[in-house]
Amino acid sequence: MNRAAAGIPWLWAPVVLLVDFAAKRMVLAHADRLLQHLDVIGGYARFTYVRNPGAAMGLVIGGRPLLIAVSVVAALALVLLYRHTSSLLRIRRCAVSAILGGALGNLVDRIFYDGLVVDFIDLGVGTHRFYTFNVADMGVTLGGLVLFLSLWREGRGEKTTASGDRHDLEAVPSATAAGDDA
């Protein structure tokens, strides 16, 4: 594998961070229009501008300094996890990188916008709505899901070879089992 191809998983962090940053700046530029809501897909998906002072799903935990500290520690832990993950585990590295990009996206808001994160994606049916979130939250959530599935798959015995082929260790017959019939 060449060096450029090996570096691709880390690109998820800046992509999530930049898309999140651009989307939030567009929302802030049109905040007055989005204070009500703008239907994107009927009433199921809409843009609604809100400022979130808390953590995930608006949970208020500790306050701004604590949330900034937790975000910085999490970002450093994700960088270490990425660096200590084998380059052969590309999906895992992509997932960790996406989580890092999302964590940094919300950290930027916490530092530069008085601890208030810009949220604007509003999903639901009628009055039954999911919490309002942003692109950074999508990076954390989807990256976390992919990381979980990657670890679960590895825990079930599938291994990746240097060529990228997966092998289920439980499905490979042992040499002694084949020789028992002779």
Question: For the segment 110-152, what is each residue's pLDDT rounded down to a tens digit?
Answer: 999 888 899 999 999 988 888 889 999 999 999 999 999 999 9
Active-site residues, by number, are: 119, 137
Segment 147-168, tens digit of pLDDT: 999 999 888 875 555 445 554 4
Segment 8-49, tens digit of pLDDT: 889 999 999 999 999 999 999 999 988 888 888 888 999 999
Q: Are 121 and 49 in contact (CB under 8 A)?
A: no
Q: What is the dihedral of CA 49, 54, 58, 60, to 10 degrees?
A: -150
Token output for 113: 């916008």
Q: What is the mean pLDDT of the chain?
A: 82
Query: What's the predicted TM-score (pTM) here?
Result: 0.76
Kindly tell me if the per-residue pLDDT of 107 is higher than 50: yes
Distances (CA, A) of 105 to 73, 113, 176: 14, 12, 54
Segment 52-77, tens digit of pLDDT: 876 665 556 667 788 888 899 999 99
**pLDDT given at position 64:** 72
**pLDDT given at position 26:** 95
